[in-house]
Structure 1
């Protein structure tokens, strides 16, 4: 959260505009919406292993459709989580990599994975 949005949130809390629960859940709500999008967490987790071309991502995530993968990659690029680098090796290809901003999700994704391993059965 930027310092200006944090200051706005604090001012709204002090002036009675938001209750503490609403203010605390707003950032969590935003990240859960982001990670809750279809295949979002899987795509980000896959990119945590390093840069990849579109077809490499498709091979690593075989059940994802081309359209959904493309949509997630565009969305992540617009959010500054992923870079798109055009590579010309006789034919033009696009390589995707996490930015520092995207890579900062590593601890959260690692903890969510650990929690799932400990608390969810494989069929859930």
Structure 2
């Protein structure tokens, strides 16, 4: 089955101030690399790929992350529409996070990146 979507190029040609050609990452790729490059973002995102999880369980599953950083990363993922935040009105109140369809859509790319890393970085 062919996709009708136009592929986004990895690199976009640009010209610097001296008008010499150079290559730069395309804007969408640059954005995702910046997001994944933030400390803990990839780990949090990857952990959420395993399914919905409560904040406290998520914190326990990521050794070394503190509450403030975990909360910042989750707030960012929610703000970008990549994850949802659901408050469970219980005693004590619990907060559950889950990836949206958009947030889960990166999985094939991350799987390929992981395969590449195993093959080339070991």
Superposition TM-score, scaled by structure 2 size: 0.77
Q: Quote the residue 1:52 is aligned against.
A: 53
Query: Per residue, is there more strand in 1 or in 2?
Result: 2
Deviation at 1:114, TM superposition (A): 1.5
Q: Which has the higher contact order (CA 8 A, sep 6+)?
A: 1
Task: Give the 3-state SS of the residue equivalent to 1:90 in structure 2.
Answer: coil
Query: Per residue, is there more helix in 1 or in 2?
Result: 1
Deviation at 1:20, TM superposition (A): 8.8
Q: Quote the residue 2:101 is aligned against.
A: 100
- Of 93-102 and 112-121, the range deviating more from structure 2: 112-121
Deviation at 1:21, TM superposition (A): 3.9
Report the number of matched residues.
104
Q: Quote the residue 1:16 is aligned against.
A: none
Deviation at 1:89, TM superposition (A): 2.5
Q: Quote the residue 1:109 is aligned against.
A: 110
- 1: CA distance, partners of 2:49 / 2:35: 16
Q: Quote the residue 2:3 is aligned against.
A: none
1:27-76 per-position Cα deviation (integer Å, ceiling 9, x unaligned): 21111001111111111100000000111111111111111111000000
Q: Which runs of 5+ in 1 are unaligned?
A: 1-5, 7-12, 14-18
- 2: CA distance, partners of 1:51 / 1:97: 4
Deviation at 1:90, TM superposition (A): 2.1
- Moved beyond 3 Å, runs of 4+: 19-22
Q: Quote the residue 2:33 is aligned against.
A: 32
Superposition TM-score, scaled by structure 1 size: 0.76
Q: Which runs of 5+ in 2 are unaligned?
A: 1-7, 9-13, 15-20
Task: Give the 3-state SS of the residue equivalent to 2:98 in structure 1.
Answer: strand
